[in-house]
Amino acid sequence: MSKKIEISLLLVATMGVMSGITIVASLPLMSRTFADIPNIEFLSKMMLTIPSIIIALFAPIAGVLVDRYGRLKPLYIGMILFVLGGSSGFYLDNFYLILAGRALLGISVAFLMTSSTALIGDYFDEDERHKFMSKQGMSVAIGGIIFITMGGLLAGWHWSYPFAIYTIPLLFIPLMYSSLYEPKVHKHTEIDSTIDSSMLKVYITAYFSMVLFYMLPTQLPYLIINTMHGDPKTIGFVISVAMVFNAITAKQYSRLKERFSYIQIYIFTFTIFGIGLFIMSQANDISQLFYSTVFIGMGFGLIFVNTNSWFLSSVPAHKRGKASGILASSFFLGQFSSPLIFEPIVSKYGIQGLFFIISIVSVSLSVLLFIKDKTRSKTLKG
C-alpha cells in the first residue's frame, strides 16, 4: 500500500481527536467573555458534549450514505464541514452560532470516521490492517499531545485562537485528493436500517469500553483541581504523559496481534487499566498520579485499536459504511454517557472511590474473559 494513502488516512484519524480536546483550555475564558448569558458555565461545557451526541446520532446515517454513495464524497464533505464548523469560534462572536458550529463539527466527524474506517477495511488485508491500526493508534495519541499543547498555548493569547487549529485540515486535502481512490471491492447498497446481530457484541464492547476509559478526561481534572489543589497545566501534563504511553503501546499492536487473540488482548487491557485506576484511587498527591499514567496510557493504546481491528475483521465489505457508522455511534454514546452513568457513584463515594470501584470491575471483567477464553479453548480442543 502506498505511503501517501497511509499518511492521508492517518491525518484523517488525527482529526477525530482534534475535534474534542483542542478547545478545552478556552472554555473557562469563554465563560468570562459571555458572562451575560444565563447559565454560561453549563452552556460552555456543551461546546464539548454537543459534538459527541451529534456524532452518536448521525454516524449511523452517515454510514448508510457511505455504503450507498461511495467512500470519498462523504469524506470530502466531512472535511469541508469540519473546517467550517470547527473554526466557527475563530471568526464568530455570537455564542449560540459558535455552539451551532460545534454541532456541524459533530456531523463532519461522523462522515470522516465512517468513511475512513470503511476505506481502511477496503484498502488493507487483515495482516496489513493490524500494522496500519498500530500506526493509527500512535498517530492519534501524538495528535492528542500536539493539539492539547497548541490549544493551551493559543488560549493564553485569546480564547478564540484555538478554534483556528480547525483550519489545518485544509492542508491535508491536496495529498488526500492525489492519493485516495474509490474502492471497487464493495457494492453500493440500498438503505437498510437493520443492525447485523452478529456485530452486536462489537458495538456493546465499543460502548462500554468508552464508558470506562472516558473516566480519565471527565473525572481526573476535578480530582487534580478540587482534591489535590493542582492547576490546569497539570491536567494537560498528566494526560499528555498517559498519551505518550498510549502511542508507544499502540505502535506495538501488530506484534501483539501476531501472538494473541482479540479476547486475550482485551484481558491484558482491562487488567492494566484496573491497575492504573487502583493506583489513582490510592494517590495522596499529584506526583503519585504519574505512576498510574503508564498503565492507563497502555490501556488507552490497546482498547480502541483492538476494537477497530476486531470490527474490520468481522464486517463484510459491502456493509462497512453502515457498520462503521454504528461503531462510531457506540463509541461516542459511551463518551457522552460516561459522566452521567458515574455521577451517582461520584456523589456518594467521591472520584477516588469511583476509581477504586471501577478498578475492581475492570479486573473482574478480565477474569471473566480469561475463563471464557479457557473454556472456548477446551471446547475447540475437545
Q: Sort 37 into a burial class: Cβ within 10 Å, 0-12 / 13-18 / 19+.
A: middle
Q: Tell me the range of 16-25, 174-183, 317-326 where mean pLDDT is highest.
A: 174-183
Chain Cα centroid distance, residue 189: 28
pTM value is: 0.76
Percent of the chain with pLDDT over 70: 93
Dump pLDDT digits (tens) for 253-294: 888 888 999 999 999 999 999 999 999 999 988 888 888 988
DSSP codes joined into one string, 33-59: HTTTSTTHHHHHHHHHHHHHHHHHHHH
Task: Quickly count: other Cβ atoms within 10 Å of residue 192's Cβ.
Answer: 12
- pLDDT of 140 reads 83
Q: Tell me the range of 80-84, 208-212, 315-319 where mean pLDDT is highest.
A: 80-84
- pLDDT of 282 reads 93
From the list 113, 114, 105, the residue with the least C-alpha distance to 46 is 105
CATH code of 3-178+198-381, in short, is 1.20.1250.20
Q: Tell me the range of 137-146, 332-341, 362-371 where mean pLDDT is highest.
A: 362-371
Average pLDDT rounded to a whole number, residues 318-339: 82
As given in the structure block, the three cell numbers for residue 358 are 471501577
Dump pLDDT digits (tens) for 184-217: 755 444 444 455 666 888 889 889 988 888 787 7
Residue pair 349/357 in contact (Cβ under 8 Å)? The answer is: yes
Alpha helices by DSSP H, the chain:
3-21, 27-33, 40-69, 72-86, 88-91, 95-123, 126-155, 173-179, 200-213, 215-222, 232-251, 253-259, 262-282, 286-314, 320-381
Find where cell 475483521 sits. 313
Dump pLDDT digits (tens) for 339-354: 888 888 988 999 899 9
